[in-house]
Amino acid sequence: MKLEADLHTHTIASGHAYSTFKEMVEAADQKGLKMIAITDHGPNMPGAPDSEFFFNTLIWSRMINGVHVLRGIEANIIDTKGQLDLPDEILDQLDIVLAGFHTGTGYRGSTVEDNTKAMIAALENPRVHIITHPGNPRFPIDFEKVVLAARDCGKALEINNSSFFIRPKSIEFCVRIAELAKEHGVMVAVNSDAHIYYQVGDFSLAMGIIDRAGIEKSQIINSSTEHVRNFLTQHGKNID
C-alpha cells in the first residue's frame, strides 16, 4: 500500500531536528509523495519556535515543486482540559493541528487516568485533528477509551513510524491501538515523524502494524490527498 501524504514532519525550527523546510519538501517530492505537512513542535518544547513562527506560515506557498504543503503544528497537550500551547486564533490559521504528550512541556499528569482524560479532552478540542503517538509508553493511556473517543469525535489516532526506533516498547502499545481502531472503525494516520530529510515518507514499520491489524486503505486518512482533503474539510478546513 502506497501512501500519498506524510502529515507529521519536523524541520530545524523544532530545535532538535536536522533538515530545512526546503530539504523536507524536496525529500517528499523525491519519495513520490503528493503532500507533506510541516508540523514543528509547539512553543512549550524547549528549542521550539514561538507563536509568531506559526502565524507566519501564512506566507508558505500551497504547492511547491508539485508537492502540496500543509501548514501544521505538533502542539503539546498541556493539561487534562485539552488545552494546547498555542493561542486558538493561530491554531485556526493552520491547515492541520496535531497534538500529543511530550516531556518537559508543562503537562503535569502522571497516571493512566490523568493521561486518558487529557487525551480525550484533546480529541474533543475542535481545533485538534490527529493525536500523535498515543502508543508512547511514557504516557500510558486506557486504549479503548481513547479509541472510542476518537471515533465519537471523528478524529484520527497516529501510528508513528519513528516511535519504534526511539521508544521500542511502543510497538506492543501501537499494535493494540491498531487492533482497536480496526474493531471500532476509527481513522488512523500513518506518519513518519521525520526529524531529518531521509525519514520523510518512511512508513515501513508502522505499515507492518497496520497490515497485521487488517486496517484498510480507506481507514488511513493520509492514504491519498483526497482523503486528507475530505477529512480536513469535515473539520472546517480549506487546504486549497
Min CB(230)–Zn ion separation in Å: 24
Min CB(168)–Zn ion separation in Å: 16
Name which of 6 and 74 has its Cβ closer to Zn ion: 74
Between CA 221 and CA 74 the distance in angstroms is: 17
Between CA 105 and CA 78 the distance in angstroms is: 7
Strand ranges, E, within the chain: 5-9, 35-38, 63-64, 67-76, 96-100, 130-131, 156-160, 188-191
Between CA 16 and CA 48 the distance in angstroms is: 8
Using the structure block, give the residue that is written with the C-alpha cell 469535515.
234
With CB under 5 A as the contact rule, which of the stretches 70-78, 164-172, 179-187, 196-204 interacts with Zn ion?
Answer: 70-78
φ, ψ (nearest 5 deg) of residue 115: -65, -40
- If binding is defined by CB under 5 A, does position 193 make contact with Zn ion? yes
Nearest residue to the partner Zn ion, using Cβ: 193
Which of 6, 40, 74, 202 touches Zn ion (CB under 5 A)?
Answer: 74
Name which of 19 and 132 has its Cβ closer to Zn ion: 132
Min CB(109)–Zn ion separation in Å: 16
- If binding is defined by CB under 5 A, does position 6 make contact with Zn ion? no
With CB under 5 A as the contact rule, which of the stretches 95-103, 120-128, 179-187, 212-220 interacts with Zn ion?
Answer: 95-103
Min CB(23)–Zn ion separation in Å: 17
Using the structure block, give the residue that is written with the C-alpha cell 504516557.
139
Between CA 37 and CA 150 the distance in angstroms is: 21
CA angle 47, 53, 56 (to 5 degrees): 170
Name which of 63 and 166 has its Cβ closer to Zn ion: 166
134 CB burial (10 A radius; 0-12, 13-18, 19+): buried
Name which of 80 and 132 has its Cβ closer to Zn ion: 132
Between CA 128 and CA 75 the distance in angstroms is: 9
Site for Zn ion in 119-138 (CB under 5 A): 132
Which x/- pattern over 198-227 shows residues binding Zn ion (rule: CB under 5 A)?
------------------------------
Name which of 66 and 104 has its Cβ closer to Zn ion: 104
Residues at the site binding Zn ion, with contacts judged by CB under 5 A: 74, 100, 132, 193
